[in-house]
Amino acid sequence: MDSQYTTTSSLPPPTQYYATGSTTATTPSTHTIPDTMGSSYIHDSRQQHRPPPGYEENETTNEQQQQNTQLSTPQQPVVGGLSGIEPYCGAIGYDEREKRTYELVVCQQPLHARMCGFGEKDRRPIDPPPIVKLIVQQEGQQGAVDVQTLQTPFFVLHVTLWSADREEERNIISNPPKCTRVLMGSLVSSPSLLKNPAGEQGLYFAFPDLSIRTEGRYTLRFSLMKLASSDFQTDAKSKIIAQVFSDPFTVYSAKKFPGMTESTELSKAFAKQGLKIPIRNDVRARKGGSDI
């Protein structure tokens, strides 16, 4: 046909809407788009990106707010496994419920050790065995709490291996095709009611069978926990009351190890009271690069 259509088809008049932060009605722009069939229609640019009713640009859903809150809230560290890293809380801790302070004192420091390698048979313990004392004091009272009144089975002391500068945890080492523990032996100790060589009674934690696979300079970190009824439930996490570091010590290779020292008077006194701890009454000279 030679004639051209002069009529146009259009959408119903659009309703006015208000932009965010404005009280003046805004009319969306329109323009005419020719039709391939010879007619034209009015295109509304608002149809492509029309905001839903009641929408505001600064509005966030409750789910988004919860996600933002979780991301901004720092995660509280917990004790779990060998590599659970938690902030150092100090050698003296305070229990608000019981109004008591708990202090850890390393009364027998580790001196040195011979590396035990990655075998399971040759286990050389740290010399001398680390021993930690627990001192409990009641708020408003002078002197330590009578250890006889404490529920000792609920106290647990956990040990981890750290670098000599106390900055990095050294519990795990990569030994392809798997990762291996560096600190071997019993990593948890329960308190024992013992008397020191001076006859003073106290609560002591002993670690007589700790050994280290690789040579280097290390320190030990002891973390005190008190178990509660809720800690025996599935996936329960215990709160750390107090922590203390040992002095730095050296782990030698077999050729460089100077030899074991004679047992201390503290170790001998505890062994006489029934504590299972190795005792060496005499130390003979080393021969051929190995201690006897």
Give a yes or no: residue 223 inside a domain.
yes
CA atoms within 13 A on the CB side of 241: 26
C-alpha of 17 from chain center: 54
Buried b (16+ CB within 10 A) or exposed e, 204-223: bbbbbebbbbbbeebbbbbb
Most confident among 16-20, 74-78, 120-124, 213-217 (mean pLDDT): 213-217
Query: Higher pLDDT residue, 233 or 124?
Result: 124
Average pLDDT of 222-237? Answer: 75
Q: Which residues pair with 159 in a beta bridge?
A: 222
Number of H helices and E strands in the chain, helices first, is 2, 20
- Does position 14 have pLDDT exceeding 60, yes or no? no
Average pLDDT of 225-251? Answer: 82
CA dihedral of 216, 217, 222, 223, whole degrees rounded to 10: -80
Nearest Cα to Cα of residue 171 among 190, 158, 184: 184
CATH number at residue 212: 2.60.40.3960
pLDDT given at position 85: 52
* Residue ranges making up the domain that contains 219: 92-227+239-254
Contact between residue 10 and residue 42 where contact means Cβ atoms under 8 Å apart: yes
pLDDT given at position 65: 57
Nearest Cα to Cα of residue 154 among 207, 85, 231: 231
Query: Higher pLDDT residue, 36 or 170?
Result: 170
Give a yes or no: residue 37 inside a domain.
no
pLDDT-derived band at 47 (thresholds 50, 70, 90) equals very low
- Does position 33 have pLDDT exceeding 50, yes or no? no
Give a yes or no: residue 284 inside a domain.
no
Is 272 buried (19+), middle (13-18) or exposed (0-12) by CB count in 10 A? exposed
Number of domains in the chain: 1
pLDDT given at position 235: 67
Give a yes or no: residue 31 inside a domain.
no
pLDDT given at position 3: 47
Q: Which of 197-201, 224-228, 251-255 has the lowest mean pLDDT?
A: 224-228
Is 172 buried (19+), middle (13-18) or exposed (0-12) by CB count in 10 A? middle
pLDDT-derived band at 36 (thresholds 50, 70, 90) equals very low
Give a yes or no: residue 114 inside a domain.
yes
Q: Checking DSSP bridges between strand 8-9 and strand 40-44, what pairing results, if any?
A: parallel
What are 290's two structure tokens?
A: 């190995």
- Does position 58 have pLDDT exceeding 60, yes or no? no
pLDDT given at position 30: 46
| Percent share of the chain, pLDDT over 70 | 64
Q: Which of 8-22, 202-216, 239-253, 267-281 has the lowest mean pLDDT?
A: 8-22
pLDDT digits (tens, 9 = 90+) for 64-105: 555 555 444 444 333 333 344 567 778 888 887 788 899 999
pLDDT-derived band at 119 (thresholds 50, 70, 90) equals confident
- Between CA 104 and CA 92 the distance in angstroms is 7
Give a yes or no: residue 26 inside a domain.
no
Nearest Cα to Cα of residue 206 among 285, 263, 165, 257: 263
Give a yes or no: residue 105 inside a domain.
yes
Q: Which of 24-38, 175-189, 209-223 has the lowest mean pLDDT?
A: 24-38
| Percent share of the chain, pLDDT over 90 | 44
Nearest Cα to Cα of residue 286 among 246, 252, 243: 252
Average pLDDT of 139-159? Answer: 86
What are 30's two structure tokens?
A: 């329109």
Average pLDDT of 52-60? Answer: 51
Mean pLDDT of the chain: 76
Give a yes or no: residue 275 inside a domain.
no
